[in-house]
Chains A and B, each alone.
Chain A
């Protein structure tokens, strides 16, 4: 509950902050290079080596990070759960073909895959997230399939089959809700992973481009100035850690919430 609140607060500040702040995130103020955090002149988090306001930049980074987290996890959630549940439930040849496809995709080098995507579809803000999600759903599909295999043998699924409930309906109504515990835990693992992959891609120059920024990129930039201007590293890094931690706690809470057995 608390972690959900913290996440909401961070998101809110991230959206409103740049609005109300007197500083623009693009404006380079060469009179105020590497100012340490101070309330007096409006640079709450200080400025970076180009004199840009760190508060506004950090908040923009948080926006990007949240977008990555949400888009990537939704993509991997939807594709992964439906794909895995279908393969596991239908079984037999369908299962074999579907899972071999997953194995094949696994074997493709990720970076190569992303470069290919960028070449074909040109560089696009959203594309990065879709690419990350498209990689993450592979793990999700495997995990979901394994769970489905054991759920399929449960008697309530057999009962539904015997009643004549159609296969898509069994998957949506009987299989998917019982996967939630595992899926939620896995999504909370996916979100930090997606955020990290994004910062890695940005570092390679394949991800978010200057002047846009993300938390991962800010941390990267901050490491360069670590000795002279520690706040450039510490502030985005603390925020990133806080967000990741909150997502993990949120995942725990969500699992309890969706598990009817615990919500007494």
Chain B
């Protein structure tokens, strides 16, 4: 008999049925992936299994865990079940941890409350668990608070707390979505190693993650089971169109890269741009000496883990934060000072699209006034009719329906909101568009559409794009050149195709290895990089990457490498020529 048996599960909020007739089972010590786009009901299903649905949800059908019914069970019973038999890991580890209680104490509470251990024994068990999830120096982390840990470390703590009571089933709801690729690889690897006899239900929108880590797959769409089967079979012969679509939309590392753009003018040039913050009288370099030339019609991707300085770099170029040193030239004219003191034309020609589409649209304004707002600054001579025409034109370029104009941002889906944000940026016909993680928050298929939209716009207008991303698979399909940053320093700058074919820097190689590929036979997501990026508060001497580098020489510890041409690329590594990566 299987451990978890879900039969005809229905979840309904008023008239809105979010899960309808879902049936599946999870055997003991089996790993099952639950895949669906946002809004498909996957999180609702997980909450139903945990008995954590809000009171206004009407649940029908049956969920049997080890023969015991969960739907309609008493809170006391559920409490016991959750504590001893089922563990759960949530998407955002910061919100799942109490910021006021040291993590060791939080974990111990799990044990004490359920009488599994007490006092010293509990402490030892917590320490042992922290050690198992790979937290360095568990004795110190025991007393640390959540904010003192990095995102990856916090997620490790969450996993420790979910597994500390030795549950039979672990539910992980998008456990790595908020994390960097390299950290994602570490966490997935940890989940795989640590779970021993524990069954795993991994919920995600990312087929790449599933491919390497689950034996069986469940694909759901609109609250209904679309397809189920062994992972390999599902990838090689998907039966339903929806599964096919998901697989096709997943970014891969083996697709075609874009051909070189037609030679254009140099639009934007930065020389030795540095950004630093002053904290306790020490100067912290977020960005150090970055050079970049951007041509019309070209996309340059800026890639790195969080904390690599990629956002600081473009924000300094745009004038949103002050530069410490360096020069930015736009069409031959030097840009200096903050954005608000720059000439109006300059502001028109440099536009930014943010990561979170909802946050970058004023919630109190209708889409029409949001998209039209730039016109009030840059084309004040337009009358109402002319303005409406420009808005309609912008809408058509981004593929949005005119009916949405009278809506508010929260009434739009993530993809629609991001299109509106892009329309607002494009309506003034800028020469440079900066996309700061502009597709990171979107579902696979929507992401592909937005990337396609950017490509078409670029080919039609010769727009130059700076595309910031932590995801190399996304970068590959959109960019002509790629700039990899580590701790604010240039690591490698090369043509996109060349970089993917032959990375010159060990860090680039590690980033490539970490990308989870939606192919169960060659899943990627390999763990070739341990540890995490150091903080700019305390940068390592010499090459900033040396503590995590497999190829580090004594020289790397003392002497910072300079970026220099290696082949067609610019690489900052002492061993760039000799290494075969």
Contact = CB atoms under 8 A, between A and B. Distances in A.
Nearest to A260: B408
Given A154-B359, A155-B354, A155-B359, A161 B340 contact: yes
B339 interface: yes
Contacts of A204: none
Given A155-B359, A156-B359, A164 B348 contact: yes
Contacts of A155: 354, 356, 359-360
A62 B318 CA distance: 57
Residue among A160, A164, A166, A180 facing the most chain B CB atoms (10 A cut-off): A164
Given A163-B373, A260-B408, A178 B363 contact: yes
Nearest to A156: B362
Contacts of A20: none
B37 to A, nearest CB: 23
B373 A177 contact: no
A133 to B, nearest CB: 26
Contacts of A173: 362, 365
Nearest to B375: A163
Interface string A149-162: 00000111011111
Contacts of B347: 162-164
A178 B377 contact: no
A174 interface: yes
Contacts of A162: 318, 320, 339, 347, 350-352
A261 interface: yes
A206 to B, nearest CB: 41
B424 A159 contact: yes
Interface in A120-178: 154-156, 158-167, 173-174, 177-178
B373 A160 contact: yes
A83 B554 CA distance: 60
A177 B347 CA distance: 25
B56 to A, nearest CB: 16
A69 B277 CA distance: 48
B361 interface: yes
Nearest to A174: B362
B456 interface: no
Contact of A163 (B356, B359, B377, B408): B377
B410 interface: yes
Interface string A237-264: 0000000000000000000000011000
B364 A164 contact: no
Interface in A34-72: none
A86 to B, nearest CB: 15
A260 B351 contact: no
Measured as residues with beta carbon below 8 angstroms from the partner, the interface class of chain A is 20 to 34
Contacts of B356: 155
Nearest to B377: A164
A159 B428 CA distance: 13
B344 interface: yes
A155 B350 CA distance: 16
Contacts of B378: 163-164
A177 B344 CA distance: 26
Interface string B328-345: 000000000001100010
Q: Among A160, A173, A260, A261, find the residue whose CB has the most chain B CB atoms closer than 10 A.
A: A260
Contact of B374 (A163, A178, A261): A163
B335 to A, nearest CB: 13
A164 B375 CA distance: 10
Contacts of B320: 158, 161-162
A159 B352 contact: yes
A161 B352 CA distance: 11
A261 B348 CA distance: 31
Contacts of B377: 163-166
B424 to A, nearest CB: 7
Contacts of A163: 347-348, 351, 373-374, 377-378, 424, 428
A163 B349 CA distance: 9
Contact of B364 (A159, A165, A260): A260
A260 B359 CA distance: 15
A177 B354 CA distance: 22
A39 B271 CA distance: 89
A6 B510 CA distance: 69
B467 to A, nearest CB: 17
A174 B373 CA distance: 11
A166 B344 CA distance: 11
A162 B408 CA distance: 22
Nearest to A264: B411
Contacts of B365: 173, 177
B363 A159 contact: no
A154 B359 CA distance: 7
Nearest to B369: A173
A154 to B, nearest CB: 6
Contacts of B340: 161, 164, 167
Nearest to A178: B364
Contact of B360 (A156, A167, A178): A156
Nearest to B350: A162
Contacts of A177: 362, 364-365
Contacts of B351: 162-163
A164 B365 CA distance: 18
6 contacts: A156-B363, A159-B352, A160-B362, A165-B373, A165-B377, A173-B365
Given A163-B374, A260-B364, 6 more contacts: A159-B424, A161-B320, A163-B378, A164-B377, A177-B362, A261-B410
Q: Which 5 A-B pairs have the closest CB atoms?
A: A177-B364, A155-B360, A164-B347, A260-B408, A156-B362
Interface of B: 318, 320, 339-340, 344, 347-348, 350-352, 354, 356, 359-365, 373-374, 376-378, 408, 410, 421, 424, 428
